[in-house]
Amino acid sequence: MITVPREDYRDSLDELRADVESMGTAVLDQLSRSLDALETDDRGLAREVIAGDERINRRYLDLESDCIDLIALQQPVASDLRFVAASFKILTDVERVGDLATNLARHALAARPDEISEVRVREIGETARDQVRAALQAYVDADPAACRAIAERDDELDASCQHASETVVRELVASEPDRWEVEQLLDGVSRLLLTIRDLERVGDHAVNIAARTLYATDGDPELIY
């Protein structure tokens, strides 16, 4: 079995933490840009977000391989093993947030400029994005209190998404389109409901990141189950 000096091993763990943070920062940028594209109907920006997803995917695979190497070659135990395993799981959640940012960019491409709704998608999106940012900071800081706070705030995001979905449905019921407009209207409503659902899932991944961080830090599976 190949081993490295203990100092180099600790450096590898610190580097993994920094790499997860770096990938998270890149994904948060993707998410912010997709929200911009939705709000401003910027088709070029939406295409840039979609094109950038491949770069995120390659980074994810590289870091996944690093986690496997750390476990296989160093056989970490106790808190170190929890940290590497948690980082492995967190990378998956971060990558999936990147996928959701790509979904949002695709929704922006498909939307019609005249689609109007009372739903404040940008506000919901910023809340979800801030949850992910806070979860990543809790991971970097190994902060269990922050992890629990993130899980508690997720109820607020869920409530906002539920209210938004109900608003969209009420708008649909209240509208009186002629028969030629029905298909376009239903397409727009479906797209908006999918957008809201994707933003709620971003928040779910933030909770997952917090849950894995709490387990890595305190050995507490409270938020996992």
Provide the sign of the torsion angle of the four alpha carbons 208, 212, 213, 219, taken in this order.
positive
For the stretch 191-203, pLDDT in tens is 999 999 999 999 9
Query: What distance lies between CA 121 and its chain's CA centroid?
Result: 16
Q: Is residue 1 assigned to a domain? A: no
Query: Which pLDDT belongs to residue 172?
Result: 78
Name the pLDDT band for 2 (thresholds 50, 70, 90): very low
Q: Is residue 176 assigned to a domain? A: yes
CB 136 within 8 A of CB 21: yes
Query: Which pLDDT belongs to residue 43?
Result: 94
Q: Is residue 225 assigned to a domain? A: no
- 136 by Cβ neighbours in 10 Å (0-12 / 13-18 / 19+) ranks as buried
Query: Which pLDDT belongs to residue 206?
Result: 98
Name the pLDDT band for 133 (thresholds 50, 70, 90): very high
User: What is the rounded CA–CA span in Å between residue 24 and residue 29?
Assistant: 9
Name the domain count of the chain: 1
Where is pLDDT greater, at 11 or 116?
11
Does pTM top 0.75 for this prediction? yes
User: What is the rounded CA–CA span in Å between residue 90 and residue 206?
Assistant: 9
User: What is the rounded CA–CA span in Å between residue 57 and residue 24?
Assistant: 12
For the stretch 82-105, pLDDT in tens is 999 999 999 999 999 999 999 999
Mean residue pLDDT of the chain comes to 90
**Domain boundaries, position 42:** 6-218
For the stretch 8-42, pLDDT in tens is 788 899 999 999 999 999 999 999 999 999 999 89
Q: Which amino acid is it at 89?
A: K
- For the domain that residue 79 is a member of, what is the CATH number? 1.20.58.220
